[in-house]
Structure 1
Amino acid sequence: MALFDKGSTMSELPEFLHKSALRKLDDFCRSAGQRPINPRRLDYRIAGLQVHLFEVRMGTGKTTTTHERPMAQLRFNPELNQWSLHHQNGSHWQLYLGVGPTLELDKLLTAINQDPLRFFRHD
């Protein structure tokens, strides 16, 4: 069953998909901070059909400012009803070839967590 008509110009996630993504992303970010080895603070923004996942780091020294480091981008293709995972390559985003587009956002979050080639880590 299609989430959009082929001719749809909708540029936002459908409500039920948005709510599901929020729940999964909240869990993913929370679990990253609870890991006993190398915990990190992650956060995300949803903009249209894209999720921008980033690492939040505290400033050095006496400053209390935080810095966001882009980590991954998840894109939803409404024509195919699929999510794809992208990593940053220099100044642009590139399709991550370690896992193909999928209907299941969880598969992409697992790929980010496993990250054997360290595309999604900044330490």
Structure 2
Amino acid sequence: MMLPELLRKRAEKLLFGFCRQVADDQYQPRHVRYRIIDQQINLVEVRRYANNPKEHEEFPVAQIRYIPELNQWTLHHYDNERWKLYLNVTPTLELGRLLSVIRQDPMRCFWPE
């Protein structure tokens, strides 16, 4: 099932701004891409190889899932094996709140380096 069109457009606007913010960070600039697949958003960090800048590798940052029955978003982090629910933030109606948690990363789950 796909995200409702209005919700998807609002999410894309927030995600575009988030990706721009992390790219412009003066201390730790990162190239982040997002993909919306059905009712989930996958955020990945793209790192180019120094010896071959045409090639790159993607590292999972976060996964945000939409629960239509509750009209809420949940946040998940990757632990090198699978996606796990991030327990330090409750499901929310506000996608921007979850993006803020990812950016700040108080538990070092999203930006391990």
TM-score (norm 1): 0.88
Q: Corresponding residue for 1:36?
A: 26
Preserved contact between residue 98 and residue 111 of structure 1 (Cα < 8 Å): no
Higher strand share: 2
- 63-72 or 17-26: which moved more? 63-72
Write the distance in 1 (CA, Å) between the matches of 2:27 and 2:59.
20
Classify the secondary structure of the residue corresponding to 1:65: strand
The letter of the residue matching 1:103 is: L
| Residue 19 (1) aligns with residue 20 (2) | no
Q: Which runs of 5+ in 1 are unaligned?
A: 1-10
CA distance in 2, matches of 1:112, 1:38: 14
Judge conservation of contact 1:41–1:56 (CA < 8 Å) in 2.
Answer: yes
Q: Which runs of 5+ in 2 are unaligned?
A: none
The counterpart of 2:96, out of the listed 87, 96, 106, is: 106
| CA displacement at 1:60 relative to structure 2 | 3.4
Q: Please say if 1:86 is aligned against 2:76.
A: yes
Alpha-carbon RMSD: 1.0
Letter aligned with residue 83 of structure 2:
W
Partner deviation per Cα, 1:93-120 (whole Å, 9 max, x = no partner) = 0000111100000110011011111100
Please say if 1:65 is aligned against 2:83.
no
Deviations 1:17-75 (A, max 9, x none): 00000000000001101011111111110000000001000013235201110100000
When Rg is computed on C-alpha atoms for both structures, the one with the higher figure is 1
Alignment TM-score, normalising by the size of structure 2: 0.96
Q: Where do 4+ consecutive residues of structure 1 move more than 2 Å? A: none
CA distance in 2, matches of 1:104, 1:63: 36
Q: Secondary structure at the match of 1:107?
A: helix
Note if contact 1:45-1:51 (Cα within 8 Å) is conserved in structure 2.
yes
Decide whether the 8 Å contact of 1:54 with 1:71 is kept in 2: yes
